[in-house]
Amino acid sequence: MKLQSHPNTIKGDMEGTISLQFKPNSSINDYCAKNIPNYDPDRLEVMAIRFYHGAETIVTVYAIDKDRMEGTNFTKEKIPVKKFKLTLVFLKDILQFVKECNFTLTTGNYPIEDMEIINK
C-alpha cells in the first residue's frame, strides 16, 4: 500500500532536517570571529550553515548583518545576510562545540510521522 506523498517536494533522492545542540558556554559566533576573516560577532550572527558535497565540498555560513537590519538599503521582507564559504575543516572544528546531533533523511514517499516501528 502506498500512502499519500509528503506535501514537500523532494529535490533529490532523500531530504530531511538536522538539529544540533551546542555545549553549554559554547558560541558558534565566537568560533567564527576567531576563524573567519572579516567576521565581526558584534555585527554578525550565524543564521544558517549549509553543507554541499558534489563536484566540490563547501560549507557556507550565513550570518545576519544586524547593522543592516536597521538600514533602508535592502528589501524589508528579506533578512540581510553575509555569506562565508568555508572548507570541510569548519565542520570538523565545529564538532567540539556540539553536544548532540540528530538527523533523519526520508524519500518523501510516505509521511514520516505515520511510521510505526514493528520490530521492537
User: 30-47, pLDDT tens digit by residue?
Assistant: 889 988 999 999 999 999
* Percent of the chain's residues with pLDDT above 90: 27
93 vs 97: CA distance, rounded Å: 8
pLDDT for res 72: 65
- 3-state secondary structure at position 24: coil
